[in-house]
Amino acid sequence: MDPEEFRRAGYAVVDWIADYWATLGQRPVTTTDPPGTVTASLPAGPPEHGEPVAAVLADLDDLIAPQLTHWQHPAFFGYFPANTSGPSVLGDLVSSGLGVQGMLWATGPAGTELETVLLDWLAELMDLPERFRSTSSGGGVIQDSASSATLVATLVALHRASGGRWRTAGVDRRYRVYASTQGHSSIEKAARITGLGTDGLRPVEVDPDTQAMCPRALRAAIADDLADGIVPAIVVATVGTTSTTAVDPLPEIGAICAEYGVWLHVDAAYAGAAAVCPELRWTHTGLRYADSYCFDPHKWLLTGFDCDAFWVADAAELVEALTVLPEYLRNAASESGAVIDYRDWQVPLGRRLRALKLWFVLRWYGAAGLRAHVRSGVALADRFATRVRADDRFEVVAPHPFALVCFRLVAGDGASAELLARVNATGRTYLTHTRVAGRYALRLAVGSPQTTSAHVDQVWQLLATTATDLLADRPG
Amino acid sequence: MDPEEFRRAGYAVVDWIADYWATLGQRPVTTTDPPGTVTASLPAGPPEHGEPVAAVLADLDDLIAPQLTHWQHPAFFGYFPANTSGPSVLGDLVSSGLGVQGMLWATGPAGTELETVLLDWLAELMDLPERFRSTSSGGGVIQDSASSATLVATLVALHRASGGRWRTAGVDRRYRVYASTQGHSSIEKAARITGLGTDGLRPVEVDPDTQAMCPRALRAAIADDLADGIVPAIVVATVGTTSTTAVDPLPEIGAICAEYGVWLHVDAAYAGAAAVCPELRWTHTGLRYADSYCFDPHKWLLTGFDCDAFWVADAAELVEALTVLPEYLRNAASESGAVIDYRDWQVPLGRRLRALKLWFVLRWYGAAGLRAHVRSGVALADRFATRVRADDRFEVVAPHPFALVCFRLVAGDGASAELLARVNATGRTYLTHTRVAGRYALRLAVGSPQTTSAHVDQVWQLLATTATDLLADRPG
C-alpha cells in the first residue's frame, strides 16, 4: 500500500470511526447471538490474493461490529470503563504510522524521553510524591496494564527481599505477598507467575463496612508469618478495589510496611485517576510510604487501552532486577548511563510508543478537561445512587466515592441476578456484578465521555421497571 | 472531541502519516543529538487548558520526529525489522476507535472469534501441525511479543512438570530451562521471572559452524541433570536466532524432548514468517514435537508491533495453568465452556483487539502478497551478501537463509566496530552488531516494504567506501 493509497483508505477508516461514534448510542450495547456466530460467518482460510480495504470495511459492518460488546457506548456501565477518546485514537494512530519500536533509548530517543516527561507531568498533575519523579531517584513507565505493574513490582520486591540473590538463585518459597481479600485477581496471578504459588499470597481481612484492608489484620499476618520463618516481601494495597472501589488505608498500611521493611505497592488502577482533582486526592494520603504505584489512564482518563502508568521510587533497583544484556542490544548510549532503556522496566523486550496517545490526550483536554471528566463521572454516579436510595426495593451496598455504584434488590441474590440478566438481555445497557460480603450486587460504573445524565436516568428507569415485572413474576 | 472534530483531525493525522511515509527515505535514519535533547524541548508540566490537534502535530514535526530512529525507513537495517504497513495501521486504527477490551469472550465476542479464526488461518498458511489449531486440541492467541510467549510457555511447562502442584505450591528450583547459548535474552528473563533464576537456565552448546543447538550437548545436559536430581521442564529451541538466524535442529531436539517428557517450545520470532513460502518451510521440519510455538507477524509479516502469534498443542492445560476467577469476571458464556476467554492465555488481564490489524494485513496482501514480501527480503539479503563476498576486505560470517546477513571486516573486531559507528553516524543507514563465536560482526537485516535493491546497493557502497577510508586511517 503506497502513501497515496493509504491516504485514501485512511480517510475511509476515519469516516468509519466517526460514523460509528456518531451512531453508537443507537446500537445494542452487546450481542445476544450465541458463541460461534462470527466463526461461522468467516471463510475457512486466508484469501490467496489481496482485497480492497472497502471489502474489509463491509465485513466489519456486517460481521464484526454487530457482534461486539461496545465498551464506548454511552450506556455501557460494565466492569471498569476502558475509556478512549478522539485524541487518544489519533495519538495511537501516529504511533502505528511511525512504527518505532522503543525497547532502547537508542531505538527511539524521542519516544523514550517523551514517556519520561509525560509520566513526570502526570505525577505533577496528581501531586504524587517527589521520589516517583525521574528528576529524583524514581521514574515512571507505561505498562500495558495494572496486572503487569503488579507483576513487575512483585519481581523487584523479591529481588530486594533476597538481598539480590533472587536474580540468579531463584525465588525462595518462604516469601509472601499480602493483599486484602478484595485485592485484584492479578495479585494472585503475579504470585503464581513469580513462582510463589497461590500459597504465597496471604489474603488480609477487610473491614466489613468499608471493604478496605484492616491494618490490624495485616500486622497480625506479618507478625505470625515472621514467627513461622516466613519472609514478607510485598504488600499490595488497593486504592479503589474492583468489586466496590474500597480504599485501603495507606497511612496505617505504609507505617507497617516501613516498620517491617516490606515493599509497598499501591494498585490504584481505576481510582488513581481521581487524584487529578484536589478534592479527591485524599485517597493518596500515605502514598509517601509506597515503593511503587500505578494507575490506568486507560480506565478513567480518556486514553485507550493499553496504558497503565507505573512509578517506582528507586529506578536503579528496578533495572537491576530485570535487566539482561545480550551483545546485540549493547550500544553507546546505554553504556553512557545517561539514558533510560525502558525494556528493563517491563516484562517484554519490545514496546510501542504508547506515550503518543497520552500526549495527545493531555494536550487536547489539558488538566482542566481531565478534571471535568472525572467530576462528571462522580456526579453521574451520585445521581444514580440517589435514585437507587429513593426506591425502597433497592439498596446501595457500599460507599461510592468515585463513579461506581454497587446496589441490589432487597429481595435477595436470586432476584438481583435475574434483574441483571434481564436488563442486559434488552441490549439497552450493560452492567456487571460482584459479591459484597458474600451477597450478590450489581455494579454500575460510569466512564464513557458520551454518557450523560439522560443515559443514567434511562438505565435507572429500565432497572426500576424491570424490577417491577420481575418482582411481580416471583412467587410469594 | 466529537465525531465531526475527530473526522477533521483524523484526516489531518492520516495526511501526516502519508506524508511521513512519502518522505521517509529523505530523512536521516536516526538522530545524532545527545540524550536530553527532547526533554529540554518540552514544557515542564501539562497544559492547564486544552490545545488544538494542529499544535500537537506541529510539535510532532519539530520536536519528536527528528529525534526518532525511523524503523520504517527503507535504509533501516538494524536488529530485526518491525515492519508495519498501511493495512496494519488501518486495522489498528479501527481497533483503537472501537475501544473494545477483549479480556473475555463476553466482553468482545467478535474480537475473540476473529482472533481464533485468524490464528487458524495463519496455521494453514504456514502448514503448522494440526494439533495447534483450535479445531483440534490446541489453538492460537496474539501475545504482545515473543518474550511473553516464552514466558507463558515456561509457566505452563512448570505447571506440567509439577503434576499441577506449581499453581498452589510455587516453583521448585530444581526445574531447568534449556536453550542454546544463542537463544534469545527473553529466555533468561523468563527463567528469572518464573522464579528459577539465571541458575535455572542451562545454556546448551552450539555447532560452531552453524551456531545451531547441538542435540548431543542437549542430551548430555539433560542426562547429567537428571542424575543430579534436577528436573528438565522445558527446552526452548530457536528457528532463526537473533544473532545470526541459526536454525536449531527440531527433529533431533524434538525426539530428545519426547524421550524425556520435556516441554518443547519453538521460538521462531523472526524466521517463522518465512514458512508462508513452501521453499522456506524446511525450518519447521520436526515441529510436530513442539508443545508450543510462536512467531512475530510484527517482525517480517507487515503487521505493526505488537503482534506475536503463539500456539499451544493443549489449550486446556494452558488455561488450567493461568486462570484465576474472581466473582466480577464470572459470566454465563464462560461457564458454558463453549467460548475462549483469552485473558487465561496471557499474563495481563486486559487486551486490545490486535486481531484487526492482522485481519487487514491478511486481506489486503493475501497469501500471495505475503509470500512476495518474504521472498523479496531473502533476495535482497542474497544480493547484499554477494557484494560482501566479492570484496576480499570483508567476510560473511554465518549462513543467511533468511533476510539477515552477518559480516565483518577481515581486519578484525576494532575495525568492524569502527565501521559500524562511522556508517551509522552518517544518518544514511542504521545497522546493528553482534558477536559470532566471540568475534564482532555487523548485522544487516532487510525488512521494510519500502526497501529496494537500490537501497541495498547504496548501503553496500557506503560500507565499502567507509571501509576504504577507515583502513587507510589505521596504522599498519
C-alpha cell at B18: 502519508
Q: Which residues of B96-105 are buried (b: 16+ CB within 10 A; e: fewer)?
A: bbbbbbbbbb
pLDDT-derived band at A85 (thresholds 50, 70, 90) equals very high
CB contact under 8 A, B46 and A10: no
Query: What are the C-alpha distances in Å from A66 to residues A40, A317, B108?
Result: 14, 48, 10
Q: What is the sign of the dihedral through the CA atoms of A240, A246, A250 and A256? A: negative
Q: Do B109 and A3 touch (CB under 8 A)?
A: no
d(CA A107, CA A115): 14
Q: 511479543: which residue's cell?
A: B145
Q: Which amino acid is at B237?
A: A
B47: phi then psi, degrees, rounded to nearest 5: -70, 145
Nearest CA among A23, A53, A82 for reference residue A306: A82
- CB A424 within 8 Å of CB A430: yes
Contact (CB, 8 A) for A85 and A361? yes
State the SS3 of B93-156. HHHHHHCCCCCCHHHCHHHHHHHHHHHHHHHHHCCCCHHHCCCCCCEEEEECCHHHHHHHHHHH
C-alpha B151/C-alpha B191 separation (Å) is 8
Residue A476 pLDDT > 70:
no
- Do residue A200 and residue B305 have CB atoms under 8 angstroms apart? no
Percent of chain B with pLDDT over 90: 95
* b/e sequence A110-124, b meaning 16+ C-beta within 10 Å: bbbbbbbbbbbbbbe
Res B242: pLDDT: 96
Residue B325 has pLDDT above 60, yes or no: yes
Closest CA to B102 of B305, B360, B340, B312: B340
pLDDT at position B328: 86
| Contacts of A386 by beta carbon, 8 Å cutoff, 6+ apart | none
Quickly state the pLDDT bin for B447 (edges 50, 70, 90).
confident
CA distance B111 to chain A (A): 7
Instruction: State whether the Cα torsion A324-A329-A335-A341 is positive or negative.
Output: negative
Q: Would you call the peptide bond into A344 cis, given omega within 30 degrees of 0 as the criterion? A: no
CB contact under 8 Å between B170 and A94, yes or no, is no
Closest-CA residue to B13 (of A56, A23, A355, A6) = A6
**Which chain B residue shows the shortest CA-CA distance from A338?**
B35
Instruction: Give CA torsion, residues B90, B96, B101, B103, to 10 deg.
Output: 40
How buried is residue A163: exposed, middle or buried, by Cβ count under 10 Å (0-12/13-18/19+)? Answer: exposed
Q: How buried is residue B198: exposed, middle or buried, by Cβ count under 10 Å (0-12/13-18/19+)?
A: middle
Contact A4 B18 (CB under 8 A): yes
SS3 A248: coil
Residues on chain B touching A305 (C-beta within 8 angstroms) = 99, 101, 350-352
Structure confidence by residue, pLDDT tens digits, A301-358: 999 999 999 999 999 999 999 999 888 889 989 889 899 999 999 999 999 999 999 9
User: Which chain B residues contact residue A98 at CB under 8 A?
Assistant: 20, 65, 68, 70-72
Mean pLDDT of chain B, nearest integer: 96
pLDDT at B340 over 70: yes
Among A14, A110, A196, the residue with its CB nearest the CB of B68 is A110
For residue A248, give the nearest of A232, A236, A230 by alpha carbon.
A236
Whether omega for the bond prior to residue B306 falls within 30 degrees of 0, making it cis, is: yes
Q: Do A93 and B98 touch (CB under 8 A)?
A: no
Distance CA B319, CA B312 (A): 11
Give B476's pLDDT tier (boundaries 50, 70, 90).
low
For residues A238 and A248, what is the distance between their CA atoms, to the nearest angstrom? 6
Q: Is the confidence at residue B361, as pLDDT, over 60?
A: yes
Of B7, B99, B349, the CB nearest to A186: B349
Residue A306: list chain B partners with CB under 8 A.
348, 350-352
- State whether A360 and B325 contact (CB < 8 Å): no
* DSSP 3-state of A242: coil
Check if the beta carbon of residue A133 is closer than 8 Å to that of residue A120.
yes
Q: Please give the DSSP secondary-structure letter assigned to residue A264.
A: E
Task: Please state the separation of Cα A269 from the chain's center in Å.
Answer: 4
Q: How far apart are CA B456 and CA A143, in angstroms?
A: 36
3-class DSSP state of A306: coil
Quote the pLDDT of residue B59.
Answer: 98
Residue holding cell 518443547?
A: B264
Question: Chain-centre distance of CA A266, in angstroms?
Answer: 13
Angle at A237 between CA A234 and CA A240, to 5 degrees: 155
Higher confidence at residue A475 or residue A205? A205
Q: Given A38, A85, A336, which is nearest B1 (Cβ)?
A: A85
Q: Is the ipTM of this complex over 0.95?
A: yes
> What residues of chain B lie within 8 A of the CB of A338, using their CB?
34-36
Beta bridge mates, B267: B238, B294
CB nearest A326 (choices: B46, B49, B185): B185
A199 → closest Cβ in B14, B168, B306: B168
> Which residue reads 537485516 in cell numbers?
B445
Residue A270's pLDDT is 98
Is the Cβ pair B110, A64 closer than 8 Å? yes
Residue with cell 494485513: B361
* Neighboring chain B residues of A366 at a CB cutoff of 8 Å: 46-51
List, for residues A349-404, the tens digit of each pLDDT value: 999 999 999 999 999 999 999 999 999 999 999 999 999 999 999 999 999 999 99
- Digit-coded pLDDT (tens) for B231-262: 999 999 999 999 999 999 999 999 999 999 99
Average pLDDT over residues B354-375: 98
Q: To the nearest whole angstrom, how far is the Cα of B407 from the nearest Cα of chain A?
A: 14
Nearest CA in chain A to B443: A328
Cβ(B299)–Cβ(B83) below 8 Å? yes
Strands lying side by side in the sheet with B439-445: B394-396, B404-409, B439-445, B432-436
Q: Say if strands A292-295 and A263-267 run parallel, antiparallel, or are unpaired.
A: parallel
Using CB atoms, pick whichever of A35, A50, A101 lies closest to residue B305. Answer: A101
Residue of A100, A329, A333 whose CA lies nearest to B64: A100
- Chain A nearest CA to B142, separation (Å): 14
Indicate the DSSP class of residue B33: P
Share of chain B above pLDDT 70, in %: 100
Report, as an integer, the average pLDDT of B319-347.
Answer: 92
Chain A positions touching B88 (Cβ under 8 A) are 96
Averaged pLDDT, B116-143: 97
> Residues with Cβ < 8 Å from A414, sequence gap 6 or more?
none
- How far CA B279 is from CA of A230, B268, B371, B381, in Å, comes to 57, 17, 10, 16
The C-alpha cell 519516544 sits at: A111
Domains of chain A: 3-68 (1.20.1340.10), 100-351 (3.40.640.10), 360-473 (3.90.1150.10)
Cell of B136: 483440534
Are A197 and B169 within 8 A, CB to CB?
A: yes
B47 vs A6: CB contact, 8 Å cut-off? no
Provide the 10 A C-beta neighbour count for residue A338: 11
